[in-house]
Each structure stands twice: as C-alpha cells, then as structure tokens.
Amino acid sequence: DSGVTQTPKHLITATGQRVTLRCSPRSGDLSVYWYQQSLDQGLQFLIQYYNGEERAKGNILERFSAQQFPDLHSELNLSSLELGDSALYFCASSVRPTGGQETQYFGPGTRLLVL
Amino acid sequence: GDSVTQMEGPVTLSEEAFLTINCTYTATGYPSLFWYVQYPGEGLQLLLKATKADDKGSNKGFEATYRKETTSFHLEKGSVQVSDSAVYFCALSEWGQTGANNLFFGTGTRLTVIP
C-alpha cells in the first residue's frame, strides 16, 4: 500500500458525459501528479500540482482539468468524454519536487470505461 | 525532449532463469532513473531507482546500474520467480525549467515466469 488513495476504482459512463476522479496523496506529500495509461499511448503524464498550484502540464486535453484543494487532495475532471478516453488514470504524490530525485508513489488507479 | 526506450516484450522465462530488460534513455541534463512494476490489476510500485551516474539501485533481488556513457539503465535479476510475473516500466525524471519533475515512461515489458 503506497498511501495514495484514489476513488472510484471503476467508472463506467457514456460518451459526452463528465466525470470527476479523486486522489488523496500520502500524508505529508505536497505534490500530486496525474497520469493516463492507455493501450495505444502507454503511460503519459497529464498534469502536476504542488501545494495547490499547477506546476506542469503534459499531454492533457483541453476537455480535461484538475485542481488541488487546500487539504491537498486533487480532482481530475474529464468532460465531453469520448470512447478514446477509456483508460486507467493514476494519481501519484511526492513530498516536493526537488531536482527530479523525488520518488513518486502511485495510487491503485481509476479505470474509466466510456461506452 | 526526454524519452525512454524499453525492450519490447512479452518476455517468458522459466523459474530460476536470468532476467535482463533493456532500457535506454534520452535526456537533456542529468535525470534520475527508475524501474516501476505493475502486478496484475494493481497500480505502479517503485522497484528501484538511481539518481546519478554509476549508482546501482537494488531491491528484491533486482538490480540496475545508471550508465551515463551508454545512457542505459538495464534491469537484471539472477533468478526469477513465478511471483515476479508483472509489467516492468523504466522511467526517468528530470528537473525542468518550470520546476516540474514528471516521469517519462517506457512502453513497459510484460514478464511471465513459468514454473
């Protein structure tokens, strides 16, 4: 158990809908990262937050957005869902970004299926 | 940009066989290197890491050495067990100009160990 929790574990929805994925980082971790794992794209970085502020963006679609709240939990919002958004979404956390050496600890993921 | 090239799988080995999974990277600076493992139905777990050239990361019998001259971080284990069956991901993290340190992953190598 990494200490990172994600809810829900599974999510099934229809095209055009909007969903929210939730992540609680390890106790004491200030930085949260979101990754998408799909069969065709592999594991891709989406976005990073540090202590409530956006730190970096990766291959995140404009239909997707995220935020980190004062209690440090984070939510990833996916809207106007398409079939191709079906994937496993991981959240990871680390204490703080320092020179790239920080270990990121991953949650169990949320499996999203868009029908 | 940063990238990781990983040996394609799947790899099937008999129990107690020697394992090597090749990983090479491209980075602009001095990245940290990681191996993550994903067991069936689970999230990513850090297996080992190395943060500078010539460092050797090791855990649970697995080893990898950070080779700057060949830009490689190959994963090895002397004697695999059935319980090692999983997908292995090589990854790098580099301190970016924005202070970001997201992970760049390889495509993953599926290992199956048969009794």
Place of tokens 């990513």: B44
> With bands split at pLDDT 50, 70 and 90, how would you rate the model's confidence at B98?
low
pLDDT value at B1 more than 80: no
Indicate whether A19 pLDDT > 60.
yes
* Per-residue pLDDT, A53: 93
Which residues of B fall within a CB distance of 8 Å from A98?
95, 101
Q: B89 pairs with which residues across the strands? A: B36
pLDDT of A42 > 90? The answer is no
pLDDT tens digits, B46-72: 999 998 899 999 999 999 999 999 999
Per mean pLDDT, which range of A20-24, A93-97, B16-20 is the poorest? A93-97
> How much is the pLDDT for A81?
97
pLDDT bracket for residue B100 (50, 70, 90): low
Partner B contacted by A89 (CB < 8 A): no
Residue B112 confidence (pLDDT): 97
The model's pLDDT over B4-52, given as tens digits with 9 standing for 90+, comes to 999 888 999 999 999 999 999 998 888 899 999 999 888 899 999 998 8
Which of B25 and A39 is assigned the larger pLDDT? B25
Nearest CA of chain A to the CA of B96: how many Å? Answer: 8
Report the residue of A5, A106, A110 to disrupt the B interface, i.e. the one with the largest count of B CBs within 10 Å.
A106
> Is A95 within 8 Å of A28 (Cβ atoms)?
yes
Query: Quick check: A99 pLDDT over 60?
Result: no
Of A2, A43, A98, the CB nearest to B105: A43
CB pairs under 8 A between A and B: 70
Instruction: Decide if pLDDT at A84 tops 60.
Output: yes
Rg of chain B on CA atoms, in Å = 14
- Alpha-helical segments (H) within chain B: none
Cα nearest neighbour of A32 on chain B: B102
Mean pLDDT (chain A, rounded):
92
Lowest mean pLDDT among A16-25, A73-82, A88-97, B99-108: B99-108
- Report the pLDDT value the prediction gives residue B8, as an integer from 0 to 100: 83
> Does residue B91 register a pLDDT over 60?
yes
* CA A35-B12-B77 angle, 5° bins: 75
Rounded mean pLDDT of A3-21?
A: 97
Q: Which of A44, A101, A109 sits opposite B43 (nearest CB)?
A: A109
User: What strand order describes the sheet that includes B75-77?
Assistant: B19-21, B75-77, B62-65, B56-59
Query: By the 8 A CB rule, do A107 and A92 touch?
Result: yes
pLDDT for residue B96: 60
SS3 letters across A27-47:
CCCCEEEEEEEECCCEEEEEE
User: Is B86 within 8 Å of B37 (Cβ atoms)?
Assistant: yes
Residues from chain A that touch B43, judged by Cβ atoms under 8 A, are 2, 90, 106-109
Nearest by CB to A104, from B98, B103, B107: name it.
Answer: B103
Opening angle at CA A55, ends A53 and A59, nearest 5 = 125
Q: Say yes or no: A108 contacts chain B, CB-CB below 8 A.
A: yes
